[in-house]
Amino acid sequence: MLTDTYRHKGLRKKLAQELAKSGITDQRVLDAVNKVPRHYFLSSAFLEFAYENKAFQIGAGQTISAPYTVATQSQLLKLKPGMKVLEIGTGSGYQTCILCEMGAKVYSIERQKSLHNNAKTLLASMGYKAHLIYGDGYKGLPAFSPFDRIIVTCAVPRVPEDLLMQLRPGGFLVMPYGEGEVQEMMVVTESEDGNFTSEIFGKFSFVPMLEKRNSAR
């Protein structure tokens, strides 16, 4: 049974205040952090750490991103309620819930079957209506395109062409770009006339984006 106590709520409020001090200015991001119980996404052994600004193992060799990383990507998306967002790398589903709280219609792809299944069960029990898909994020979701925004939550060694093709003109993609331990947060924008431009926003560290689906674990 998932319980959200006053203590958890207090820790969450403190986390949102810390994020505000660290430069997160989008109030809807802070409100969403304040609302989504992050401790539901960590195994019970780590409950004490759920509201620290740290990444954590979520099984299958993957991690739930640190709150500052989630907040930065969410802020860079400049979301408006009702926007259609594609997320690559559902992982624990925490980032997915933050986007739902911000009013987005979220489609999220995960290549690890076990993580996809866990997120599906958890988000349904929390009442979130995101569309969770088991598949390869490199391909995106052409059937549901175009998207207003695309967020990639694993490190991308090359710009995924298929994803750019699924952006609405004027839309943009936020992704950690690069190989190796540390990547640069990149925003790639498609102008109304179909040209692409990119901007860089600081360094972060993500697990790598891998090709194809993996049902092994």
Q: How far is the CB of 191 from ligand SAH (least distance, A)?
A: 27
Decide if residue 128 touches ligand SAH (CB under 6 A).
Answer: no
Which parts of 63-92 interact with ligand SAH (CB under 6 A)? 63-65, 88-89, 91-92
Identified binder of ligand SAH from the candidate list 15, 36, 37, 62, rule CB under 6 A: 62
Q: Give the up-direction half-sphere exposure of residue 137: CA atoms within 13 A in the CB hemisphere.
A: 28
Q: What is the DSSP letter of 190?
A: E
Identified binder of ligand SAH from the candidate list 109, 122, 141, 167, rule CB under 6 A: 109
Q: How far is the CB of 192 from ligand SAH (least distance, A)?
A: 29
Counting every residue written for the chain, the total comes to 217
Residues 177, 156: contact at Cβ < 8 Å? yes
Among 22, 43, 44, 65, the active-site one is 65
Decide if residue 153 touches ligand SAH (CB under 6 A).
Answer: yes
Which parts of 168-197 interact with ligand SAH (CB under 6 A)? none
Q: How far is the CB of 95 from ligand SAH (least distance, A)?
A: 4
Decide if residue 112 touches ligand SAH (CB under 6 A).
Answer: yes
Q: Count residues near ligand SAH (CB under 6 A).
A: 23
145 is catalytic: no
Among 64, 69, 102, CA closest to 83: 102
Helices (H) and strands (E) in the chain, counts: 6, 9
User: How far is Cα 3 from Cα 171, in angstroms, rounded to an integer?
Assistant: 38
Decide if residue 40 touches ligand SAH (CB under 6 A).
Answer: no
Decide if residue 207 touches ligand SAH (CB under 6 A).
Answer: yes
Token duo for residue 138: 């490199």
Candidates 46-54, 57-65, 169-177, 192-200 — which segment interacts with ligand SAH by CB under 6 A? 57-65
Decide if residue 116 touches ligand SAH (CB under 6 A).
Answer: no
Q: Which residues of 16-54 are buried (b: 16+ CB within 10 A; e: fewer)?
A: bebbbeeebebebbbebbbebbbbbbbeeebeeebbeee
CA angle 114, 176, 91 (to 5 degrees): 15
Token duo for residue 127: 């009442």
Name the one residue in this structure whose structure tokens are 């986007």.
99
Question: Residue numbers of the site for ligand SAH (CB under 6 A)?
Answer: 62-65, 88-89, 91-92, 94-95, 109-112, 115, 136-138, 153-154, 207, 209-210
